[in-house]
Amino acid sequence: MTTTLEKPARRQEVPAARKLTAGAFSPRQLLTSLPDALRKLNPRHQLANPVMFVVWVGSVLVTVLTLLEPNGFSIAVALWLWFTVLFANLAEAVAEGRGRAQAESLRRTKTEAVARRLADDGTEEDVPGNALRVGDRVVVEAGQVIPGDGDVIEGIATVDESAITGESAPVIRESGGDRSAVTAGTTVLSDRIVVRITTKPGETFVDRMIALVEGAQRQKTPNEIALTILLSTLTIIFVLAVLALQPMAGYSGGLLSVVVLTALLVCLIPTTIGALLSAIGIAGMDRLVQRNVLAKSGRAVEAAGDVNTLLLDKTGTITYGNRQATELIPVGEVTKGELAAVARLSSLADETPEGVSIVTYCAENFGLPGEAQAEELAADAVAFTAQTRMSGIDIGGRQIRKGAASAVRQWTSGPVPSEVDTVVDEISAQGGTPLVVAECSGGTTRVLGVVRLSDVVKPGMKERFAELRAMGIRTVMVTGDNPLTAKAIAAEAGVDDFLAEAKPEDKMELIRREQEGGRLVAMTGDGTNDAPALAQADVGVAMNTGTAAAKEAGNMVDLDSDPTKLIEIVEIGKQMLITRGALTTFSIANDLAKYFAILPAMFVAIHPQLDALNIMRLATPTSAILSAVVFNALIIVALIPLALRGVRYRPMSAASLLRRNLLVYGLGGIATPFAGIWLIDLLVRFVPGIG
């Protein structure tokens, strides 16, 4: 079939929707979240956090004592204890507020559409989108909104998914295969499709996303539970230690006030990390949403941080997926320049990624035009068909073709140099695709050479895999290619291992073997055949363009459908764990400076020699105690941005990470209170009744 060669039509651009992101932390968020923080003062809410519940009880106790015997010191301590509880609630409220902002942006993307429901006899009826039921078939044409989540069962169309993903480029959705899933609220740009509805009203993908990002039902992760147990244990120990101080003080000839003992307890228990723990977990899910990834639970985010093995699909993840021209091999006396000129002409009418790559390769390496010229635009283009397995152009009395070796051999109807067969066999054995280029001019047909098409590894993949290796993560490439091709790609990409000729059951078996060894496994997938492995993996990232089965099986969904994002997901999970560890180190180190502030102040009247421990030279015992309480409250607010943003992640071993935490957050946790308490004391010493 021949047609006039024309420039391909420009792809229709769609305005980009706003990404799902809460943006950077701003002080304004503290004010807008204050009402929520006040509501969280309810004791039933505080019971969920043992550390802050002790602070809440201490605040109530000191408040009651202050009302009975009011004085400036007791009033100040009571106020700052309540501020401590309030600031802890504020950290959680800010994190949840960011999630609600994302949910609101998602609600704005929802569009109630009128559906054209198909009856069994083929007739159509208009019904509200919320009246659709699972199994209903609806017709959607260009310019119409898809009324519900479903699978395309008839037709092919371009769809604008910018309202969901924020990407302006339209995507192809077609019946059959792994790209049949469509999402409610997206818009069909061209053609006509029939969609079978797969979800009930109110349970669409957008509805589930809204519920997820609001985080109202966020469950604690195993590591978070373990840390809560540790903090609770430390709190109990310090409660017992503080209770033991009163009889010791009485034996020494003086009793301590309950206000002072309460202040000591609040300053010694790990209030900083206790206050920020929930915010860190919520912020981890928030950072995923900022990258257009939705986790179905906080457990999935944390599991990503503990992943030991990554299973990555080769096509589209490690490689571009579309085979590209990587070499021109002339035969006989033909030069590379001659072969390039003819190969370019044969590909001008070929709009497949392979054909475009040949034109690009010739333009970049041989200085040929990257677009069809005037004379070439008027030529007769020969489009590729499944019957001919060739494409080409008829121009100026010349017939130029490129295609499969067997098809070109049949077209030439003459002898083909044996060198061509050798090159074709060699490229095929190495996992590449050979395309033979031939020309017929003046009744003479000759084969000029072979174009090698290869699945090209994406740039930077080897470096990223090296980073993962430094983190102790093993990477496995999964592909349906033959072992020879898989081995070559694996070596070029730098993965640790590969699984060739992989079937669904092979992926499942590999994941189970890894898990039996005590390792956590993450993988990506988009097809129904990936669903079993996604369900088996500890972190299963389904592509939004994939089938409903894949999205149901995974515990994360990538709205951008970018398989390489699995690496970012692991980094975000590790960042959350690192942030929690860093702030725990900082919180515990904080206590050391508070000892030097409060303990000498408590007992200096009984044992004057303890004044030697007052190395900060704080003005009075009351100013020292109050300064420590004030610092204990303010440091929570100061660390909220760090808890939400997360500690910067760098690939390193566990030993190196521990050393960094001890150096930066351990020493920082010791030094900061010394400076902070001393500066606060300079102010409070002038308050009547304190200094």
Q: Which of 89-98, 248-257, 292-301, 499-508 has the lowest mean pLDDT?
A: 248-257
Q: Which of 106-115, 349-358, 632-641 has the lowest mean pLDDT?
A: 106-115
The whole-number pLDDT of residue 60 equals 94
Residue 62 CA to residue 187 CA, distance in Å, equals: 60
Indicate the pTM of the whole model.
Answer: 0.61
The whole-number pLDDT of residue 297 equals 67
Task: Among 527, 559, 591, give the residue marking a domain's end.
Answer: 559
Tell whether 577 and 619 lie within a shared domain. yes
Tell whether 329 and 426 lie within a shared domain. yes
The whole-number pLDDT of residue 450 equals 92
Residue 318 CA to residue 315 CA, distance in Å, equals: 6
Which H or E element spans position 160?
strand 150-160
The whole-number pLDDT of residue 100 equals 60
Q: Which of 38-42, 67-71, 184-188, 663-667 has the lowest mean pLDDT?
A: 184-188
The whole-number pLDDT of residue 18 equals 36
pLDDT tier at 56 (50, 70, 90 boundaries)? very high
Task: Among 429, 456, 483, give the residue marking a domain's end.
Answer: 456
Tell whether 430 and 473 lie within a shared domain. no
Q: Phi/psi of residue 124, each to 5°?
A: -115, 150
**Residue 496 annotated as lining a ligand binding site:** no
Task: Among 526, 559, 592, give the residue marking a domain's end.
Answer: 559
Tell whether 389 and 525 lie within a shared domain. no
What percentage of residues in the chain have a pLDDT greater than 90? 8
User: Would you call 313 a catalytic residue per the annotation?
Assistant: yes
Residue 682 CA to residue 674 CA, distance in Å, equals: 13
The whole-number pLDDT of residue 668 equals 87
Could you read off the pLDDT of 449-483 as tens digits, one per residue?
Answer: 999 988 778 888 888 888 888 778 888 988 877 78
The whole-number pLDDT of residue 79 equals 93
The whole-number pLDDT of residue 104 equals 58
Tell whether 382 and 443 lie within a shared domain. yes
Q: Is 562 a residue whose pLDDT tops 60?
A: yes
Contact, 636 vs 272, CB < 8 A? yes
Query: Domain of 506?
Result: 293-318+458-559
Mean pLDDT across 294-298 = 72
Tell whether 327 and 449 lie within a shared domain. yes
**Orientation angle between helical segments 298-305 and 222-251, nearest 10 degrees:** 90
124 belongs to a structural domain: yes
Number of domains comprising the chain: 4
The whole-number pLDDT of residue 58 equals 92
Q: Which residue has the higher pLDDT, 650 or 254?
A: 650
324: β partners: 454
Buried/exposed code over 24-46 (b: 16+ C-beta within 10 A; e: otherwise): ebeeebbeebeebbeebeeeeeb
The whole-number pLDDT of residue 32 equals 77
Beta strands in 506-657 (DSSP E): 521-525, 539-543, 556-558
Contact, 402 vs 391, CB < 8 A? yes
Q: Is 666 a residue whose pLDDT tops 60?
A: yes
The whole-number pLDDT of residue 234 equals 85
**Residue 123 annotated as lining a ligand binding site:** no
CATH of the domain at 123: 2.70.150.10
Tell whether 465 and 531 lie within a shared domain. yes
51 belongs to a structural domain: yes
Q: How far is CA 485 from CA 231, 435, 451, 479, in A?
A: 52, 18, 18, 10
Tell whether 447 and 328 lie within a shared domain. yes
**Residue 681 annotated as lining a ligand binding site:** no
Tell whether 409 and 441 lie within a shared domain. yes
CATH of the domain at 479: 3.40.50.1000
Tell whether 637 and 662 lie within a shared domain. yes
Residue 627 structure tokens: 């300064």
**Residue 402 annotated as lining a ligand binding site:** yes
309 belongs to a structural domain: yes
Mean pLDDT, the chain, whole residue set: 79
The whole-number pLDDT of residue 13 equals 33
Residue 368 CA to residue 366 CA, distance in Å, equals: 6
Mean pLDDT across 378-406 = 83
The whole-number pLDDT of residue 691 equals 55
Tell whether 302 and 363 lie within a shared domain. no
pLDDT tier at 67 (50, 70, 90 boundaries)? very high
Q: Which residue has the higher pLDDT, 508 or 413?
A: 508
Mean pLDDT across 480-502 = 83
| DSSP category for residue 687 | S
637 belongs to a structural domain: yes
**Residue 585 annotated as lining a ligand binding site:** no
Could you read off the pLDDT of 242-259 as tens digits, one per residue?
Answer: 888 777 766 666 667 888
Mean pLDDT across 672-677 = 87
pLDDT tier at 64 (50, 70, 90 boundaries)? very high
**Residue 389 annotated as lining a ligand binding site:** yes
Could you read off the pLDDT of 7-32 as tens digits, one per residue?
Answer: 333 333 333 333 434 344 566 767 77
The whole-number pLDDT of residue 449 equals 92
Nearest Cα to Cα of residue 209 among 96, 97, 112, 107: 107
205 belongs to a structural domain: no
1 belongs to a structural domain: no
Tokens 């007052």 identify what position? 614
Q: Is 676 a residue whose pLDDT tops 70?
A: yes
651 belongs to a structural domain: yes
What percentage of residues in the chain have a pLDDT greater than 70? 81
Q: Is 219 a residue whose pLDDT tops 70?
A: no
Mean pLDDT across 207-229 = 60
Q: Is 154 a residue whose pLDDT tops 80?
A: yes
**Residue 388 annotated as lining a ligand binding site:** yes
**Residue 575 annotated as lining a ligand binding site:** no
564 belongs to a structural domain: no
Contact, 310 vs 568, CB < 8 A? no
Tell whether 677 and 652 lie within a shared domain. yes
**Residue 386 annotated as lining a ligand binding site:** yes
- In this structure, are strands 150-160 and 187-188 parallel, antiparallel, or unpaired? antiparallel
Q: Which residue has the higher pLDDT, 203 or 568?
A: 568
Could you read off the pLDDT of 167-176 as tens digits, one per residue?
Answer: 545 778 888 7
Q: Is 45 a residue whose pLDDT tops 80?
A: yes
The whole-number pLDDT of residue 202 equals 63
Determine which one of 286, 306, 313, 591 is catalytic: 313
